[in-house]
Amino acid sequence: MIDWSEQGLMMRDAFRKFVDSEIAPNIEELEHGDTPPYDVLRKMYKTFGIDDVARARFEKQIARDKRIAAGEAVEERKKEVDPEEAAEAAAMQIIPIIELCRYSPGLITAMGVSMGLAGGSIMSKGTIRQKERWGLDLLTLDKIGAWAITEPGSGSDAFGGMKSVARRDGDEYVLNGSKTFITNGPYADTIIFICKLDDGGPVEERKVLTFVLEKGTPGLVQSKPLRKMGMHSSPTGELFLEDVRVPKENLLGETEESPSREGAKDNFSTERSGVAAMALGIVEQALKLSVEYARTRVQFGKPIGEYQLIQLKLAKMEVARMNIQNMVFRHIEMVAHGRRPSLAEASAMKLYAAQACMEVCLEAVQVFGGNGYMSEYQVEQLCRDAKVLQIYAGTDEMQTIHIARGLLQEGA
Ligand SMILES: Cc1cc2nc3c(=O)[nH]c(=O)nc-3n(C[C@H](O)[C@H](O)[C@H](O)COP(=O)(O)OP(=O)(O)OC[C@H]3O[C@@H](n4cnc5c(N)ncnc54)[C@H](O)[C@@H]3O)c2cc1C
């Protein structure tokens, strides 16, 4: 794949129009940090029928799950997938990410966590009942989801330092603990809460369990949005649980044997490839703005774009854009040919894309000079937003570790 198909370009233009009419004019309000992003996202779902597509996919999956549950032999016939069709479908998921990130990457953070992480966890590890009860509403964005693993004392070492616990009490579980930096935490209707089973055994051997919690459950407190450096259109908050009682129906998969650690790791891979697409949107916009500014800003009697020091910056930005785009296109090709990236591959994509994006945004601010430091100019916001790509979904250092581990394990 060397460029978007004709259909992809049409899709890109349609999203661009939506962004120009619905997001760009309201950017200040969204980026103020106090306006939840969900109404505009729902409007986007309705405009492009994303909710209808999600509903149709959901019904197909549930029908299949029910046939399997009824003991019907569901043919695992390897459907002949047309790579072109599959590439088109993958591109259709990635184009909105890129286009929204050109203006407000926080919107994609909020949407991705709700639909991808929270909805995705339920759809991959939940029972049919759980999928019907919580999954569909998250996929259509009728309800907002959060996915909570990070705690004040455990971030990169998410499982090792985890203090949140579930204790069995008759037919129920009693949950205690706190989570922090949780995207959509302040407003989420449905929360995926990851904790350890307190069964009296050695802490390091305790099972990791995943629960689904509903807003308003007694003992669950969702904080107000935290103030932060960027991604202001994505609300981030804390969760506090004090003796929250839930029945077994809220345990994801309704069994303690469900592989929660692996479930969380699967999410890492998906998230990391998504971050590269986010980086591409931010870089495209930062570069476009920088080129326009370099053409029009005159100093010493010439547009600054005529100075080689500025040209070098623009050229390096373009190289980064091309590299990230190539990674994203390769990812689409892999998906089209039925291959999922390994954790190491997804980590490599994220590490490069996040670092390149940060460098591009810092250089964009430099091209704009004093104006680049002013909130009135969009590069200031893009620069603040870009930083978190190096932190969430695993820090740069964690990506590095996963890449190296992948290399060292190969052929071992
Ligand atoms: C805006 C935002 C949204 C987020 N959304 C969510 C969410 O929805 N759900 C959720 O569960 N979490 C979320 N997070 C949390 C995020 O995943 C964590 O911040 C991240 O994993 C890093 O953890 P930490 O902040 O505790 O940093 P730490 O793990 O304390 O790391 C501090 C520093 O030490 C480095 N470090 C740690 N261990 C090593 C090591 N072994 N070798 C070398 N260096 C190391 C790190 O790379 C980092 O530079 C969000 C964070 C932010 C900022």
The CATH architecture that domain 262-409 belongs to is Up-down Bundle (1.20)
Other beta carbons within 10 Å of 80: 5
Catalytic residue among 31, 271, 363, 380: 271
Q: How far is the CA of 285 from the centre of ligand 1 (A)?
A: 27
| 291 Cβ contact list (under 8 Å, min separation 6) | 305, 314
Judged by DSSP in three states, 177 sits in strand
* Strand pairing report for 165-169 and 190-197: parallel
Per-residue model confidence (pLDDT) at position 87: 87
Helix (H, G, I), strand (E, B) or coil at 144: coil
Give me the tens of pLDDT residue by residue for the chain, a chain 412 residues long: 889 999 999 999 999 999 999 999 999 999 987 789 999 999 999 999 999 999 999 999 999 999 998 888 766 555 667 888 888 888 888 999 999 999 999 999 999 999 999 999 999 999 999 999 999 999 999 999 999 999 999 999 999 999 999 999 999 999 999 999 999 999 999 999 999 999 888 877 899 999 999 999 999 999 999 999 999 999 999 999 999 999 999 999 999 987 777 767 777 777 888 999 999 999 999 999 999 999 999 999 999 999 999 999 999 999 999 999 999 999 999 989 988 889 999 999 999 999 999 999 999 999 999 999 999 999 999 999 999 999 999 999 999 999 999 999 876 6
Measured from the Cα of 183, ligand 1's closest atom is 8
- Output the CA 160–ligand 1 centroid distance in Å: 13
What is the domain partition of the chain in residue ranges? 6-143, 146-258, 262-409
Kindly give the distance from the C-alpha atom of residue 350 to the centroid of ligand 1, in angstroms, as a whole number.
14
Tell me the C-alpha distance between 330 and 369, whole Å.
35
Cβ atoms of 101 and 20 closer than 8 Å: no
Cβ atoms within 10 Å of 271's Cβ, excluding its own: 20
CA-234 nearest atom, ligand 1: 1
Residue 75: per-residue pLDDT? 63
pLDDT value at position 76?
A: 58
d(CA 239, CA 250) in angstroms, rounded, equals: 17
410 flagged as catalytic: no
Q: Residue 340: what pLDDT?
A: 86
Pocket of ligand 1 (CB under 6 A): 113, 147-150, 155-156, 181-183, 228, 231, 236, 388, 391-392, 394-395, 397-398
Q: Tokens at residue 189, please?
A: 């209707």
What is the per-residue DSSP string for 232-266?
TTS-EEEEEEEEEEEEGGGBGGGSTTS-HHHHHHH
For residue 204, the model assigns a pLDDT of: 77
- CATH tag, 6-143: 1.10.540
CATH architecture under which domain 146-258 falls: Beta Barrel (2.40)
